[in-house]
């Protein structure tokens, strides 16, 4: 088992140690060459063979997969100072990119390792000779401002072992076997806390403050000394650390802006959880030195004869008020040609074409000025075009223009997206004058690295209507592109979802600026070039992964002609796929003067454009516009309704995409419903009467000749009638008020009793309002989803209950179901006490799409999608989105989708209606978020969701990942998305120990918080800092409300950004943002640990109690010291649910030829239930008879076996009503009889009643 190691201060070689003495740094003890990998002893450069040995470790490498030794200054949490690292350069195996060593059972391997990425954690794993992973530790995202954690892997047995990365690159700084703890150090409890002695401006650098402190670092004290700089709001704005031994020292911090600050010093020792912290000391008032501007680019943007115009672009300087631009030739003085510029670009006119100039930008703030370095440029004789920026949502990564003309888009650490609702990507682009330029942009794009790709990764060529460079809020743009991304339609009419596949992507519908979202975003013209491209491609448990892979090349072209925009894929050098959007002006809506075209890449990938060309042609010289072909609309008719029911009628909703008139005929062709007017997208309800058993109908639509909703080019493909079959099977088991029994080995031939249970699918298909479907305890392994279709409803007074047998539990193991778990689209169901687990990738274990359902005591865990989700279909109108559902006393945990970024605990999102409530529930150890109430701008706001009396903790990683090597998003309560209003309510709930934010509006502008405790969030991993509470949006106005909020101990300060007139939540004395009272009052000024019964989250965990409430066991429960109006107080459930099983269903008695039956009597014969139409005796029921006394009702189960009456006696006299038993059947006398054997004459004196025993 891996863990953080408490160990001595580290080891370096003698050469490295002597160098550190000269530098004044700590000199660690000399490494034991018998065991330690001393990277500082290795020669810098590539290692391409497996004969390099350092200590007990052999470095495994080859020419094809080399490892690298290079310079890197890092310090460990034990105070070890390193100057080199060993880069493993990718995932390893026994022969390459690994460290091999021999060890005995119990050997501890101490390692210092970092991720090769600056933003993403990776792992270093321990493998045996069979290459089975035995253990792993986290290799945190590389950050030179934080120390490397000391970690230990334990060898389980004698043998040869390897250290390697299971995926991407990891850098190893040190490894050693069996490090002995240093027991001679002064106990931590005896080390004095540091004291800040003085804070002064650095005379050598006016942008730094020098913090002098007293505090011991070394064997008698700490391993490291840290300084933290806080702004006036308490946010940590800079921090640093050092490992120099001594009783005092100096640390330098850099304030980010002018203002007032406080500073504190901390001492830490590896293995000690609690640092020693000084009192905070105010710094001198700080004035930020005006930085030197950096010129980012100078392009010739206009040429008229011998005169040219250049555009100068530079980076913003903090606190600069204005800028000026000067130019010169040769050694002349700079002449200011543009002054008073508020932005970061300026046009310089009147320059001479072909002449060489220097440019200089000067930043101004009052009397202060700072000038850039001169940048030489030549005024070109033609307009220069290309520039690079990040466009839209996200950040991270870079674009490198290589010397050979290729362009590398390093988006491995980029979190933009090529998505359905908003965009964000790195962009190498140029402006296009639509009046004078058509263009053709061709590119061959090589995939360098796709190991971390996800469903929102993408790359290719794209033209955009308008853009605001480097502004994350400017993410909504009309566009046309040839790109590798997500598509939901194929070029030949296919529908579904394809990720990371080549296609033509067209987005339109935006009319405002790029910062303004719109539900009118329309991507219906987008098409995958080849729907079957790499058909069957899977990655691990992901059956539908992004289809592009590292090493592949994609040759794409985007062209604008007089016809429109042409997206082209040149496949394998021969096959050409082309999709045309027939509107050359589609990108002149947001900006009618210019649009942009270029190369792009987004999100967790790296690609290189190896070959590309750009050509323009004046529209007058281009080919004439082609007449756009008609877009033929194929009329459709659908009926989204259950095909199984226990009822004798059903309401069928007919929906079409065209205007027309429909009718319904029965199996004999008779019209049962006629003159039905249908309109596009509207549900027209058609009631149908049903008989027991199979019912066959045909719905027939005749489209109207005129279709007023069609676009300019749309035409009906045909006015021929469209027909769909409607098949309904009617059957029932027992009556309302009874329980249908189900067992893991039940089948459709059962009768729903305990002796002959049904299978789960059949019971759900035919349960009646007021019935229970009771599942025996055990494991159910459905082969397909259990779908409760539209119309399979209970009622408000008589819901249908699906439940486990009390005292046992039914477990739905979904590992064999390719379509997921329970999809509840009906209304008024009550799901109670079920366990759902092991769903396949992106197949929902429990998906609620109906209304007025209760989901109670459900445990959904270890699934490959969100544990419990409430959402509808984007193709349905919002009034049909699931509403008024209640989730109670449920737990969702350890859910992870194949890509590790999308599986939440509870999701009420995207297409959820109003009135949904989650209460008394727990979400923990889900890879994405605990609760997700995300809304998209393309589908609009969702209904108000209320979450109350609930808990979110430890989300962002799975429970068995003790070292946090596989991290996701990790918010506790995520209460919005894409600036969509929602007014969601989080009430009396607790969020603690999550990887990221405890509570976040996630850009929702009007979240309501009532009595919420959020504590210890953003502390789980050094790679992810976060706050307890974030209320922030890019929307223009906010409507946040908060009262009783208790925030305590997070890695970042709370972030409250208000754009509203009512700001009283900031001064509400019941709110303790960042642990401090919003305003002076009768309560305490700040939160302290004694407010809580316990803060021991490592050993105490919440659970659902016997009454259905959340039981905290003291964890973050408030004591009397906490003010009564602040924080969450989870109480007992005042109205716990108690469900008693109903009597089981009563099956149907068999038909007897001797019995007399009247109208309405029901019997079973040959497994079929029949109902008598009139008086009958002796007529055998037959399913094929249309005119006889019997009508088939459906399958029938066996009846109960009654107790036998007195046996029949041949010499006895019997009169009317006497009952006897004979040959296992009870018989009743119809009149006086003697000597007539029961059952021998159809029209005799005896009539059979029932089986007996």
Residues annotated as part of the active site: 974
Rounded-to-integer distance, Cα 709 and Cα 222, Å: 75
Q: Are 565 and 434 in contact (CB under 8 A)?
A: no
Instruction: State the number of CA atoms in the 13 A half-sphere of 61 facing the CB.
Output: 21
Q: Are 940 and 521 in contact (CB under 8 A)?
A: no
**Number of residues written out for the chain:** 1253
Rounded-to-integer distance, Cα 260 and Cα 1069, Å: 25
Per-position b or e across 289-323, b if 16+ CB within 10 A of its CB:
bbbebebbbbbbbebeeeebbbbbbbeebebbeeb
Instruction: State the number of CA atoms in the 13 A half-sphere of 859 facing the CB.
Output: 12
339 to 352, 564, 691: CA distances (angstroms): 21, 42, 86
Alpha carbon distance, N-terminus to C-terminus of the chain: 63
Using DSSP's 3-state secondary structure scheme, residue 1091 falls into: helix
Rounded-to-integer distance, Cα 458 and Cα 779, Å: 41
For 721, phi and psi rounded to 5 degrees?
A: -60, 145
Burial of 1185 (0-12, 13-18, 19+ CB in 10 A): middle
Q: Determine which helix (DSSP H) or strand (DSSP E) holds 8, and give its type and residue range.
A: none
Using DSSP's 3-state secondary structure scheme, residue 323 falls into: strand
Nearest-5° Cα angle at 1069, 1067 to 1072: 90
Nearest-5° Cα angle at 811, 808 to 816: 155
C-alpha closest to that of 953 among 989, 987, 900: 989
Q: Are 443 and 484 in contact (CB under 8 A)?
A: no
Question: How many other C-beta atoms lie within 10 A of the C-beta of residue 1235?
Answer: 10
Instruction: State the number of CA atoms in the 13 A half-sphere of 791 facing the CB.
Output: 20
C-alpha closest to that of 418 among 498, 491, 518, 494: 498
Rounded-to-integer distance, Cα 464 and Cα 476, Å: 10
Rounded-to-integer distance, Cα 178 and Cα 7, Å: 10
For 19, phi and psi rounded to 5 degrees?
A: -65, -40
Question: How many other C-beta atoms lie within 10 A of the C-beta of residue 397?
Answer: 23
Tokens at 456, concatenated: 């929102």
C-alpha closest to that of 78 among 20, 9, 4, 176: 9
Q: Which residue's entry shows tokens 């949006």?
A: 1033
Q: Are 193 and 19 in contact (CB under 8 A)?
A: no
Q: What is the DSSP string of 347-374?
A: EEEEEETT-EEEEEEEEEETTEEEEPPP
| β-bridge pairing 660-666 and 693-703 | antiparallel
| C-beta pairs of 30-35 under 8 Å, 24+ apart in sequence | 31/55, 31/176, 32/176, 35/176, 35/177, 35/178
Rounded-to-integer distance, Cα 750 and Cα 307, Å: 92
Rounded-to-integer distance, Cα 1003 and Cα 989, Å: 20
């Amino acid at each position: 088992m891996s863990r953080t190691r408490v160990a001595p201060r580290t080891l370096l070689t003698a050469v490295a140690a002597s160098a550190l003495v000269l530098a004044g740094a700590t000199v660690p003890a000399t490494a034991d060459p018998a065991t330690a990998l001393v990277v500082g002893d290795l020669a810098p450069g590539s290692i391409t063979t497996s004969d390099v040995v350092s200590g007990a470790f052999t470095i495994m490498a080859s020419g094809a997969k080399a490892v690298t030794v290079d310079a890197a200054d890092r310090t460990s949490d034990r105070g070890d100072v390193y100057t080199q690292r060993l880069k493993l350069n990718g995932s390893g195996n026994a022969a390459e990119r690994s460290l091999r060593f021999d060890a005995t059972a119990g050997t501890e391997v101490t390692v210092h390792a970092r991720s090769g990425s600056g933003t993403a954690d990776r792992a270093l794993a321990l493998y045996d000779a069979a290459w089975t992973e035995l253990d792993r530790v986290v290799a945190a995202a590389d950050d030179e401002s934080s120390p490397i954690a000391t970690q230990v892997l334990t060898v389980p047995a004698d043998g040869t072992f390897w250290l390697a990365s299971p995926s991407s690159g990891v850098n190893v700084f040190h490894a050693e076997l069996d490090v002995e703890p240093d027991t001679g150090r002064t106990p931590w409890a005896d080390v004095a806390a540091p004291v800040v002695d003085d804070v002064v401006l650095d005379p050598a650098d006016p942008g730094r403050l020098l913090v002098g402190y007293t505090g011991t670092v070394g064997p008698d004290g700490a391993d490291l000394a840290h300084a933290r700089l806080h702004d006036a709001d308490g946010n940590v704005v800079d921090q640093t650390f050092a490992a120099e031994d001594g009783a005092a020292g100096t640390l330098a911090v850099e304030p980010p802006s002018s203002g007032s600050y406080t500073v504190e010093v901390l001492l830490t020792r590896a293995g000690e959880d609690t640092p020693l912290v000084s009192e905070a000391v105010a710094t001198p008032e700080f004035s930020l030195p005006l930085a030197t501007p950096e010129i980012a680019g100078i392009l010739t943007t206009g040429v008229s004869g011998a005169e040219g115009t250049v555009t100068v672009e530079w980076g913003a300087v903090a606190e600069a008020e204005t800028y000026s631009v000067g130019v010169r030739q040769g050694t002349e003085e700079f002449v200011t040609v543009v002054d008073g510029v508020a932005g970061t670009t300026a046009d310089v006119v009147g320059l001479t074409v072909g002449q060489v100039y220097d440019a200089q930008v000067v930043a101004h703030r009052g009397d202060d000025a700072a000038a850039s370095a001169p940048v030489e440029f030549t005024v070109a004789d033609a307009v220069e075009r290309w520039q690079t920026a990040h466009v839209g949502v996200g950040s991270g990564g870079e674009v490198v223009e290589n010397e050979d003309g290729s362009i590398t888009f390093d988006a491995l650490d980029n979190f933009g997206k090529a998505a359905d609702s908003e965009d964000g990507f790195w962009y190498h682009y140029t402006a296009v004058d639509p009046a004078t330029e058509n263009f053709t942009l061709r590119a061959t794009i090589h995939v360098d690295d796709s190991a971390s790709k996800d469903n929102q990764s993408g790359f290719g060529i794209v033209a955009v209507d308008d853009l605001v460079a480097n502004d994350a809020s400017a993410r909504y743009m009309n566009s046309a592109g040839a790109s590798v991304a997500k598509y939901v339609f194929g070029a030949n009419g296919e529908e579904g979802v394809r990720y990371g596949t080549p296609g033509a992507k067209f987005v339109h519908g935006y009319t405002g600026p790029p910062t303004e979202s719109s539900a009118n975003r329309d991507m219906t013209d987008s098409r995958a070039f080849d729907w079957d491209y790499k058909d069957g491609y899977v990655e691990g448990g992901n059956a539908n992964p992004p289809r592009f892979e590292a090493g592949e090349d994609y040759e794409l072209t985007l062209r604008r002609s007089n016809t429109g925009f042409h997206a082209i894929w040149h496949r394998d050098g021969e096959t050409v796929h082309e999709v045309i959007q027939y509107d050359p002006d589609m990108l002149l809506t947001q900006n009618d003067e210019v649009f942009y075209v270029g190369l792009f890449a987004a999100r967790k990938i790296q690609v290189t454009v190896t070959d590309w060309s750009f050509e323009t042609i004046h529209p007058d010289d281009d080919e004439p516009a082609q007449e756009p072909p008609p877009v033929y609309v194929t009329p459709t008719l659908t009926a989204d309704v259950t095909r199984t029911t226990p009822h004798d009628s059903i309401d069928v909703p007919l929906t079409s995409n065209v205007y027309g008139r429909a009718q319904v005929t029965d199996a004999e062709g008779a019209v049962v419903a006629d003159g039905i007017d249908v309109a596009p997208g509207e549900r027209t309800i058609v009631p149908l009467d049903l008989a027991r058993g199979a019912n066959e109908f045909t719905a027939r639509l005749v489209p109207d000749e005129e279709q007023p909703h069609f676009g300019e080019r749309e035409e009906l493909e045909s006015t021929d009638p469209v027909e769909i079959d409607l098949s309904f099977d009617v059957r029932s088991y027992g009556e309302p008020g009874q329980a249908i029994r189900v067992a893991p080995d039940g089948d459709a031939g059962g009768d729903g009793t305990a002796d002959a249970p049904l299978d789960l699918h059949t019971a759900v298909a035919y349960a009646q309002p007021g019935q229970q479907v009771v599942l025996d305890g055990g494991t159910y392994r459905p082969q397909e989803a259990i779908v409760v279709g539209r119309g399979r409803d209970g009622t408000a007074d008589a819901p249908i209950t699906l439940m486990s047998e009390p005292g046992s539990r039914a477990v739905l193991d979904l590992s064999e179901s390719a379509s997921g778990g329970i999809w509840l689209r009906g209304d008024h169901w009550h799901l109670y006490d079920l366990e759902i687990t092991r769903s396949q990738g992106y197949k929902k274990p429990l998906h609620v799409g109906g209304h007025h359902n209760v989901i109670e005591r459900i445990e959904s865990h270890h699934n490959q999608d969100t544990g419990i989700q409430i959402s509808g279909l984007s193709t349905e109108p919002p009034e049909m989105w699931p509403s008024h559902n209640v989730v109670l006393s449920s737990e969702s945990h350890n859910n992870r989708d194949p890509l590790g970024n999308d599986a939440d605990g509870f999701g009420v999102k995207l297409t959820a209606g109003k009135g949904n409530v989650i209460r008394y529930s727990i979400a923990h150890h889900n890879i994405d978020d605990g609760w997700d109430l995300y809304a998209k701008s393309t589908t609009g706001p969702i209904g108000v969701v209320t979450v109350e009396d609930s808990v979110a903790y430890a989300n962002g990683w799975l429970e068995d990942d003790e070292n946090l090597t596989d991290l996701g998003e990790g918010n506790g309560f995520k209460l919005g998305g894409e600036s969509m209003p929602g007014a969601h309510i989080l009430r009396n709930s607790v969020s603690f120990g999550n990887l990221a934010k405890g509570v976040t509006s996630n850009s929702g502008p009007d979240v309501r918080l009532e009595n919420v405790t959020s504590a210890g969030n953003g502390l789980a991993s050094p790679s992810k800092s976060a706050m307890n509470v974030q209320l922030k949006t890019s929307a223009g106005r906010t409507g946040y409300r908060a009262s009783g909020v208790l925030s305590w101990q997070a890695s970042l300060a709370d972030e409250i950004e208000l754009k509203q007139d009512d700001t009283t939540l900031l001064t509400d004395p019941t709110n303790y943002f960042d642990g401090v009272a919003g305003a002076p009052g009768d309560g305490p000024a700040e939160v302290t640990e004694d407010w809580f019964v316990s803060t021991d989250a490592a050993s105490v965990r919440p659970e659902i109690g016997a009454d259905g409430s959340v039981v905290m066991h003291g964890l973050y429960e408030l004591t009397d010291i906490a003010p009564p109006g602040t924080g969450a107080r989870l109480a007992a459930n005042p109205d716990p649910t108690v469900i008693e099983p109903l009597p089981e269903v009563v099956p149907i008695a068999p038909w007897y030829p001797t019995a007399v039956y009247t109208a309405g009597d029901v019997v079973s014969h040959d497994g079929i239930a029949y109902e008598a139409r009139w008086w009958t005796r002796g007529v055998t029921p037959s399913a094929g008879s249309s005119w006889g006394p019997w009508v088939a009702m459906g399958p029938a189960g066996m009846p109960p076996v009654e107790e036998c009456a007195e046996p029949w006696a041949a010499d006895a006299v019997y009169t009317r009503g006497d009952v006897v038993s004979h040959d296992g059947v009870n018989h009743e006398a119809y009149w006086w009889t003697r000597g007539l054997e029961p059952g021998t004459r159809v029209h005799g004196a005896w009539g059979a009643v029932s089986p007996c025993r």
